[in-house]
Amino acid sequence: MLRLSTALLAATLFAAPAFAGERSAPTADCPQGVLTLSVLKPQNNPPTPVMISAWETANKCMKIELNEVPFGQLADKINVLAASGNPPDVVMYDGPNTQTYAAAGVLLPLDKYFPAGLKADMVQATLDEHTYEGKIYSPGTQQASLALFYNADMLAPLGITPPRELAKAWTWAEALDAMKKCQKGEGDNVTVWGLAPSRFGNATPGFVYRDLLFLRTFGDPKAAPDSSAYKTYWALSRDAKTAQGWINSPEAVEGAKFYSDLFNVHKVTPKAGIPNAFQDKKACFTIDVSYFVAGLANNDPGFKWGVTPLPYAKAPIVHTGSITLGVMAKGKNPDEAAKFVLDMSTGKIAEDYNRAARALPVMKSIAAKMTELQSYPLNIFLEEVQQWGHPRPPSPHFAQYDKIVTDALRDIAYGADPKTRLDSAARSLQPILAR
Amino acid sequence: MIAAKRRAILHWAAVTTFVGPFLLMLLMFQYVPVVRMVWDSLWDFALLNPDKRTFVGLGNYLDAFDDPDRRQAFAVTFGFAFGVVCLVIPISFFIAIYLNGRLPARAVVRTVVFLPVVTSSVVIATMWVFLLDPTNGLINGAIAMMGFKKLAFLTSKAQALPSIIGMMVWQQTGFATVLFLSGLQGIPRDLEDAARVDGCGWWQRLRHVVMPLLGRTTVFVVVIMTVFSLQAFAPALIMTGGGPEGTTDFIAFDIYQLAFALQQPGLASAISTLFMLVVMGVSLLQMRLMRSEWSY
Amino acid sequence: MKRASVLAGAALVLVVILVVFLGPYAWIVASSFKPQFEIFRDLNPISWATFIPANPTIANFVHLFVNRGVGRALINSAIVSSCQVGGTLLLCAMAAYGLTRIRFRGANFVFGVVLMTFLLPIESLMVPLYMHVANLGLQDTLPGVFIPWIASPFGLFMLRQAFEDLPRELDEAATIDGAGHFRIFWSVVLPNVRTTLATLALVTFLFSWNAFLWPLVVIASPRNQVIQLAIAQSVSIGQLPNWGETFAGATIATVPLIVLFLFLQRYFVRGIALTGVKG
């Protein structure tokens, strides 16, 4: 046993150098050798294999090594990797973190790599999100917004036809009514849920991108700036220093109560995830992004479906921003990494991706070519971004905000008292924001 | 004289060669981090750029005491350990008695009970996420089949911690059983036989002969189970994320979250230091108890 | 009559234990050979189909190996665990020899220092240990996973006990024959504590293979991933899991240990009991 282990130990020590060195020996085609770029990305998200192979075909002397982690573990992984001496070259991260990562020196500013005119081509919301202290950190691959998908075959017999225009969008009261009517079975025997469980983030309730909207929509951007309605709408002070009174205002608590009631009183949506609930006809409605359209179009679920704008309570709102590519500041191949990021986000590769995935492009030049954005159902997502869209609360501490608020919303969904739980979230956030 | 010196040099050379490497590694990877932990606990900084730091003295400790979430993490962790110990001891004791008897299928039972001990905490937590799933889980499947109402398990504030205690008991019973079994096998048969001759029944023999002789083993099992339970981490990460409402926020997980997700390694170090002191205290106390048990 | 009721009681206990301890494993393993919708379908109601796949498929396993890099993770785990076993045996055996066979001043103090580490909760050391290992340039490397743990206080404790139990006449005879410390250590002492070494090797392997928190902290890139991380990744609350695939991963991670356990049960049980009786 000892001898065997010693032999193995020796074998590994000799084998170890095989891990090091990202550039292979020179070949006839590539006198400098083939460079392997490492890319960290969340599973089931772009860059897709199609994009990667298109890029590798165009750049013969470069290879991409994909490292995939579940979306819910991405932020932790980036935090750990950034502190390490061996970070990946490129990361696909959630857009609102740009400020956090830029402030900490995790991401490389890309200004010197940006071709002239590219910034002007970007949608303003994305440009703002990815700019920190005057420097740009990511071009952005896509924009996204949430809308309410419905199973038309289930709603038709009930005489329910959801609206298709933003101006006629349902309020949450109307949407809840439809969900209740459509639900089949009760207690342990629900066969069809009114609203499918969230598939986002942790696949438990609470994901800020989706579920913070339930609170924000109870606020009002047109109210006086010192009113609690105004604060509720923004969910974090505009200087990103105060959560107290913004995340736990009376209106936010009202929103949280409504959100909690969906799970605990009306019971139109389950607390635990059910994979593919909507596609498997186990739910009438689901809240999802525009690429879910592509998913349904490519894998016919066997029923008629439709899209209606996201319901609202007092002021309509959707979150803008999506995951995006950045270059790690401590990576060893910044030039090649920047080229990869820009190629993925602009030109033909980005256009093909946006079209295939039904994603909303960041580049206005690409959007202009995609006529499908002007017609149902994609127009709903686009108009939502343009008319109702706001980023998740911008802050150099977004990562922490995201985690603490997600945990609070999850607990509220599981039945915690909305006010107590939001108060404790505000309290936990305060020292972090104040730093 | 020179020969003596030479012998002394050789002697210490041998000592260094044999004991040195072990000691060096131990100092480097256990004691240095402890010192570093205490040092870091006096600073406020982020892991993303650890060089930018401010000295806060005992500020992190004050924050830790002040914060109900941190106090809850301590309460949850020790409550968990208490629950596990209270259940594991009787269950494993009776399985050990069963295995020590002359009943059939002992080998099978011993193997089966021990399986979770060799299974990793990750796999066990994973298995149990699905066993406990409120809609499609095996346990709720069984409950529904018997005509009862399905339980919420991990999504319920009241049931989450008990569910994880149940899982931990399932996981650790084999270990405790083996410890009890080796204790039982150390009891001379003639003692029991003598009691039988005196007309003692099964329960009386158990109560008055076996149990007193297993005192030391029992204290030992309590120590081991306490230490294991205090280390719980995987269940929080994989099954609950510490929720609902912090009811499964084990200290090890809390430390991990604070350091890596919330970027407060200073505070995490302060809590680590406190946790270390508490665990050392508990271990010492239990060892003391054990020593007094030895003396009869 | 009484004998019969005792037997009936024992049989009942037997059935309960088997169901409680084997049921979950049976479900996981059977489900790993099923597509997701069959797993859900076969649960309502529970029947033999819940535990026996009607149309077994290895698609889940194939996907894990092809797309999730589980093969790589298994190899990494094997490397890490073997190195940890090798390193622990060597370091602990040498130190145990030094402490029991070379009488030196301060030996008791050294042993005291070692015993103290028993009391350190490893979980609390993760953050400083991570920063320390990062400073040494070992983060996100396989050696970084096992090197911090090879100086195992438990291993030293166990071997020291075994060395003490060896009669001194053995090495005294060898000294008279002119053997040095290395000869005595390698040719006289080690061969006589083979069983203890094997036990320590197994227990170390078990802990190393199953370790989770430290690899989670120290390993970042998937190519250096160990099996427990790969499994945790496909489940954790990080995403909506694919049930079949997750079960397949759990099966893969567990089967090597269970096979090892079934063949070497005696050593395992002895080793585990030792952690208790002598710890």
What's B266's domain CATH number?
1.10.3720.10
Nearest CB to C18: which of B104, B112, B280?
B112
| C2: closest CA of chain A, how far (Å) | 44
Write the DSSP assignment of A60-88 as a string of letters: TTEEEEEEEE-HHHHHHHHHHHHHSSS--
Confidence class for position C239, pLDDT limits 50, 70, 90: very low
Counting as contact any 3 or more CB pairs under 8 A, the partners of A are B, C
Beta bridge partners of A42: A69
pLDDT of residue A349: 92
| B36: closest CA of chain A, how far (Å) | 17
Q: How many domains does chain B have?
A: 2
Query: Nearest to residue A408, comparing CAs of A396, A420, A399, A397?
Result: A420
User: Phi, psi (5° rounding) for residue C65?
Assistant: -75, -40
- Residue B271 CA to residue B291 CA, distance in Å, equals 30
DSSP assignment letter at B262: S
- Residue B98 CA to residue C180 CA, distance in Å, equals 51
Residues of B in contact with C278 (CB under 8 A): none
Domains with residue ranges and CATH for chain A: 32-143+321-390 (3.40.190.10), 146-319+393-434 (3.40.190.10)
Determine the average pLDDT of the residues in A332-342: 93
The answer to whether residues B290 and B219 touch, using CB atoms and an 8 Å cutoff, is: yes
Residue A19 pLDDT > 60:
no
Which residues are within 8 A (CB) of C7 and not within 5 positions of it... i.e. 6 or more apart? B103
Determine the average pLDDT of the residues in A279-307: 91
The answer to whether residues B133 and B140 touch, using CB atoms and an 8 Å cutoff, is: yes
For an interface test with B, which of A198, A411, A429 has the most B Cβ atoms less than 10 Å from its Cβ? Answer: A411
Nearest CB to B157: which of A83, A407, A415?
A415
- Residue A135 CA to residue A124 CA, distance in Å, equals 15
Q: Count CB neighbours of C18 within 10 A.
A: 16
For an interface test with C, which of A3, A5, A86, A271 has the most C Cβ atoms less than 10 Å from its Cβ? Answer: A5
For an interface test with B, which of A73, A264, A276, A435 has the most B Cβ atoms less than 10 Å from its Cβ? Answer: A435
Q: Is B156 near chain A, with CB under 8 Å?
A: yes
Q: Which two tokens stand for residue A344?
A: 């993925």
> Considering the domain boundaries, does residue B158 fall inside one?
yes
Q: Is C61 near chain B, with CB under 8 Å?
A: no
Nearest CB to C239: which of A70, A85, A88?
A70
Determine the average pLDDT of the residues in B95-120: 85
Looking at this predicted complex, what is its ipTM?
0.84
B113 and B13 share one domain: no
Judged by CB atoms closer than 8 Å, whether chains meet at A188 and B144 is answered as: yes
Judged by CB atoms closer than 8 Å, whether chains meet at B256 and C23 is answered as: no
Confidence class for position C274, pLDDT limits 50, 70, 90: low
> Considering the domain boundaries, does residue B82 fall inside one?
yes
pLDDT of residue B253: 92
Q: Which two tokens stand for residue C97?
A: 């020899």
Query: Nearest to residue B245, comparing CAs of A426, A416, A420, A405?
Result: A416
Name the residue of chain B whose CA is nearest to C181's CA. Answer: B14
Tokens 């979250």 correspond to B257
- From the number of C-beta atoms within 10 Å of its C-beta (0-12, 13-18, 19+), residue C90 rates as middle
Q: Which two tokens stand for residue A373?
A: 């954005």
pLDDT of residue A351: 92
Q: Which two tokens stand for residue B15?
A: 């000592």
Q: Find the range with the poorest average confidence among B64-68, C28-32, C270-274.
A: C270-274
Give the tens place of pLDDT for each residue, B43-100.
Answer: 988 877 777 888 999 999 998 898 889 999 999 999 999 999 999 999 999 899 888 8
Judged by CB atoms closer than 8 Å, whether chains meet at A65 and C198 is answered as: no
Confidence class for position B282, pLDDT limits 50, 70, 90: confident
| B267: closest CA of chain C, how far (Å) | 11
Q: Which of residues 81-140 of A touch C (CB under 8 A)?
A: 81, 83-86, 88
Confidence class for position C273, pLDDT limits 50, 70, 90: low
Domain extent for B230:
68-121+152-294
Highest average pLDDT, of A177-181, B100-104, C168-172, comes from A177-181
Q: β-strand A305-309 against A193-195: which pairing, if any?
A: unpaired
Nearest CB to B129: which of C114, C235, C253?
C235
B34 and B158 share one domain: no
Q: Which two tokens stand for residue C37?
A: 């919708």
Q: Which strand (E) or helix (H) includes residue B140?
A: helix B138-145
Judged by CB atoms closer than 8 Å, whether chains meet at C197 and A6 is answered as: no
Tokens 């580049």 correspond to A363
Confidence class for position A9, pLDDT limits 50, 70, 90: very low
Residue A10 pLDDT > 50:
no
For an interface test with C, which of A3, A39, A65, A69 has the most C Cβ atoms less than 10 Å from its Cβ? Answer: A69
The three-class DSSP label of residue C166 is coil
Residue C42 pLDDT > 60:
yes
- From the number of C-beta atoms within 10 Å of its C-beta (0-12, 13-18, 19+), residue A158 rates as exposed
Q: Which two tokens stand for residue B180?
A: 């009890």
Q: β-strand A131-132 against A90-94: which pairing, if any?
A: unpaired
For an interface test with A, which of C41, C146, C219, C221 has the most A Cβ atoms less than 10 Å from its Cβ? Answer: C221
- Residue A348 CA to residue A128 CA, distance in Å, equals 24
Counting as contact any 3 or more CB pairs under 8 A, the partners of C are A, B
The b-or-e profile of C64-81 (16+ CB within 10 A means b, else e) is: bbeebbbebbbebbbbbb
| B36: closest CA of chain C, how far (Å) | 6
Judged by CB atoms closer than 8 Å, whether chains meet at C134 and A5 is answered as: no
Looking at every residue in chain B, the average pLDDT score rounds to 86
CA distances from A279 to A30, A286, B83, C182 (A): 47, 10, 42, 69
Which residues are within 8 A (CB) of A346 and not within 5 positions of it... i.e. 6 or more apart? A118, A121, A139, A363
Nearest CB to B136: which of C20, C40, C231?
C40
Judged by CB atoms closer than 8 Å, whether chains meet at A411 and B245 is answered as: yes
Taking every pair of C-alpha atoms in chain C, what is the biggest distance, in angstroms? 76
pLDDT of residue A266: 95
Name the residue of chain A whose CA is nearest to C238's CA. Answer: A72
- Residue C181 CA to residue B19 CA, distance in Å, equals 13
Nearest CB to C83: which of A1, A8, A40?
A8
Domain ranges across chain C: 2-57, 64-277
Beta bridge partners of A287: A148
Residues of C in contact with B32 (CB under 8 A): 132
Judged by CB atoms closer than 8 Å, whether chains meet at C269 and B23 is answered as: no
Judged by CB atoms closer than 8 Å, whether chains meet at A82 and B48 is answered as: yes
Name the residue of chain C whose CA is nearest to B142's CA. Answer: C46
pLDDT of residue B294: 43
Q: Which two tokens stand for residue A189?
A: 């025997």
- Residue A274 CA to residue A271 CA, distance in Å, equals 9
Residue C90 pLDDT > 90:
yes
Confidence class for position A208, pLDDT limits 50, 70, 90: very high
Q: Which of residues 39-58 of A touch C (CB under 8 A)?
A: 40, 43-44
Beta bridge partners of A65: A38
Confidence class for position B280, pLDDT limits 50, 70, 90: confident
> Considering the domain boundaries, does residue B48 fall inside one?
no
The answer to whether residues A152 and A304 touch, using CB atoms and an 8 Å cutoff, is: yes
Judged by CB atoms closer than 8 Å, whether chains meet at C134 and A6 is answered as: no
DSSP assignment letter at A44: T
pLDDT of residue C275: 58
pLDDT of residue C278: 37
The three-class DSSP label of residue A353 is helix
pLDDT of residue A281: 92
Residues of C in contact with A83 (CB under 8 A): 134
B27 and B157 share one domain: no
Chain centroid to Cα B250, Å, comes to 12
pLDDT of residue C169: 83
Tokens 């479900």 correspond to C27
Query: Nearest to residue A234, comparing CAs of A255, A210, A217?
Result: A217
Long-range contacts (CB closer than 8 Å, 24 or more residues apart) made by C193-196 = C193/C93, C193/C159, C193/C162, C193/C163, C193/C166, C195/C267, C196/C158, C196/C159, C196/C162
Name the residue of chain A whose CA is nearest to B262's CA. Answer: A400
Query: Nearest to residue A293, comparing CAs of A307, A275, A314, A278?
Result: A307
pLDDT of residue A416: 94
Residues of C in contact with A9 (CB under 8 A): 82-83, 86-87
Looking at every residue in chain A, the average pLDDT score rounds to 88
Judged by CB atoms closer than 8 Å, whether chains meet at B30 and C273 is answered as: no
Highest average pLDDT, of B30-39, C40-49, C79-88, comes from C79-88
The three-class DSSP label of residue C61 is helix
Confidence class for position A21, pLDDT limits 50, 70, 90: very low
Give residue A148's identity as a one-letter amino acid code. Answer: L
CA distances from C11 to B95, B103, B114, B146, B285 (A): 13, 9, 19, 22, 41
Q: What is the Rg, in whole angstroms, of the alpha carbon atoms belonging to chain C?
A: 24
Q: Is C1 near chain B, with CB under 8 Å?
A: no
| B143: closest CA of chain A, how far (Å) | 11
pLDDT above 70 covers what percent of chain C?
92
The answer to whether residues C91 and C148 touch, using CB atoms and an 8 Å cutoff, is: no
Write the DSSP assignment of A202-220 as a string of letters: TSSTT-HHHHTHHHHTTS-
Give the tens place of pLDDT for each residue, A55-72.
Answer: 999 998 999 988 777 777
Name the residue of chain A whose CA is nearest to B67's CA. Answer: A428
Judged by CB atoms closer than 8 Å, whether chains meet at B37 and C25 is answered as: no
- Residue A215 CA to residue A206 CA, distance in Å, equals 11
Counting as contact any 3 or more CB pairs under 8 A, the partners of B are A, C
Confidence class for position A12, pLDDT limits 50, 70, 90: very low
The three-class DSSP label of residue C145 is helix
Looking at every residue in chain C, the average pLDDT score rounds to 83
Name the residue of chain A whose CA is nearest to B48's CA. Answer: A83
User: Phi, psi (5° rounding) for residue B189?
Assistant: -60, -35
- HEC per residue, B215-260: HHHHHHHHHHHHHHHHCCCHHHHHHHCCCCCCCCCCHHHHHHHHHH
CA-based end-to-end distance of chain B: 52
B221 and B94 share one domain: yes
The answer to whether residues C212 and C232 touch, using CB atoms and an 8 Å cutoff, is: yes
B29 and B92 share one domain: no
> Considering the domain boundaries, does residue B90 fall inside one?
yes
Q: Is A204 near chain B, with CB under 8 Å?
A: yes
pLDDT of residue A7: 44
Judge if the upstream peptide bond of residue C24 is cis by omega within 30 degrees of 0: no
Query: Nearest to residue B125, comparing CAs of A268, C28, A353, C263?
Result: C28
Query: Nearest to residue B18, comparing CAs of C228, C236, C90?
Result: C90
Residues of C in contact with A52 (CB under 8 A): none
The b-or-e profile of C126-135 (16+ CB within 10 A means b, else e) is: bbbbbbbbbe
Residues of B in contact with A400 (CB under 8 A): 261-263
> Considering the domain boundaries, does residue B63 fall inside one?
no
Q: Is C66 near chain B, with CB under 8 Å?
A: no
How many CA atoms, within 13 angstroms, populate the side-chain half-sphere of residue C156? Answer: 30
Judged by CB atoms closer than 8 Å, whether chains meet at B48 and A400 is answered as: no
The answer to whether residues A212 and A392 touch, using CB atoms and an 8 Å cutoff, is: yes
The answer to whether residues C159 and C92 touch, using CB atoms and an 8 Å cutoff, is: yes
* pTM confidence score: 0.86
For the CA atoms of A88, A90, A95, A100, what is the dihedral angle to 10 degrees?
A: 50
pLDDT of residue C2: 67
Judged by CB atoms closer than 8 Å, whether chains meet at C131 and B40 is answered as: yes
Query: Which CATH superfamily hosts domain C64-277?
Result: MetI-like (1.10.3720.10)
Long-range contacts (CB closer than 8 Å, 24 or more residues apart) made by A183-186 = A183/A268, A183/A284, A186/A267
CA-based end-to-end distance of chain A: 54
Give the tens place of pLDDT for each residue, C113-129.
Answer: 887 787 677 777 877 88
